Amino acid sequence: MSAGRYEATERLRGLDPETPPLERGILPHRLDAFEDYVALPERMRGNYPSGFSEEEFRNYMGGMAAIDDATVRAIVTAAEHAHPRPDRLLNVGGGPGAFAAEFDRRGADVTLVDRESVLDFLEDHHREQGLNVVEGDARESLPTGYDVVFGARMTVSLTLDGIREYFGNAYEALDPGGTFVGAEWVRGRSEVAERFGLHMVAISEAGNTYTEAEYRSALADNGFVDIEITDVPDTRFQVVVGHVPDSA
């Protein structure tokens, strides 16, 4: 309250249509999701909408950009523990680029891959960040020749079959001795995983969260070895790690 007037908090400014999408924070996306929760009985009968509306997509991007810097740094540090000082890193589903920018800051040559609609929407933002971006779908194919393939919150939007396709393409994208690192909420390990699984059921036809055993099986089936799933300190995330053999 200022000079007898009420003013919106920073969180409420996210509801102002004039606020740039990447500055809206998580609240608008959560309000969109609430409408999906109300419609959950219809969704469970298979009556899903064809996709996000334009405004819902903007709010979703704002939610993706809202991850705090400390969490980003903790996850990137965990990835570097799995594969120290990578030269070339592929950030799958990198969206607004928070993780790509942090890996770049630490010296990696980073390529961000995402769907055409995401790259088109974020074109100016990626250019301002100086990020190298490539259009692609992790379930179909990925560019090759990387030390590390990294993705955060990727598998929550996929079925188990989609995860196996993603992991298979990640394996092919890596050089011998390379490492896959996924930052996820693992069911049975993360306190938010079951709740977020319900969230994904409400907003998408395919999404869910998955168990440690399901991740291990999907990685092993695609040839990864020395599989590890570890908690990221001071976050609710786990990193899911698999390595390509040196002689692959």
Smallest CA-to-CA distance from 91 within 63, 62, 54, 64 is with 64
Residue 62's pLDDT is 83
Q: For 96-115, what is the mean pLDDT?
A: 97
| Residue-range domain boundaries for the chain | 10-65, 69-243
Smallest CA-to-CA distance from 87 within 107, 111, 63 is with 107
pLDDT digits (tens, 9 = 90+) for 169-209: 999 999 999 999 999 999 999 999 988 887 787 777 778 89
pLDDT digits (tens, 9 = 90+) for 51-73: 678 888 788 788 888 899 999 99
pLDDT band at 2 (very low <50, low <70, confident <90, very high): low
Return the sign of the alpha-carbon dihedral for residues 113, 117, 138, 230: positive
Residue 101's pLDDT is 97
Q: Which SS3 state, helix, strand or coil, does residue 137 take?
A: strand
Kindly state the percentage of the chain with pLDDT values over 90: 65
- Round the average pLDDT of the chain to a whole number and report it: 89
pLDDT band at 1 (very low <50, low <70, confident <90, very high): very low
Superfamily for the 69-243 domain: Vaccinia Virus protein VP39 (3.40.50.150)
Structure tokens of 183? Answer: 């930052």
Residue 218's pLDDT is 98
pLDDT band at 22 (very low <50, low <70, confident <90, very high): confident
Q: Which SS3 state, helix, strand or coil, does residue 146 take?
A: strand
pLDDT band at 49 (very low <50, low <70, confident <90, very high): low
Cα atoms in the 13 Å half-sphere on the side-chain side of 59: 20
Q: What value, to the nearest 5°, has the Cα angle with vertex 77 and ends 172 and 151?
A: 35
Considering just the CA atoms, what is the radius of gyration of the chain in Å? 18
Tokens 């291990």 — which residue?
Answer: 216
**Segment (H or E) for 171:** helix 160-173
DSSP label at residue 4:
T
DSSP label at residue 232:
P
pLDDT band at 110 (very low <50, low <70, confident <90, very high): very high
Q: Which SS3 state, helix, strand or coil, does residue 192 take?
A: coil
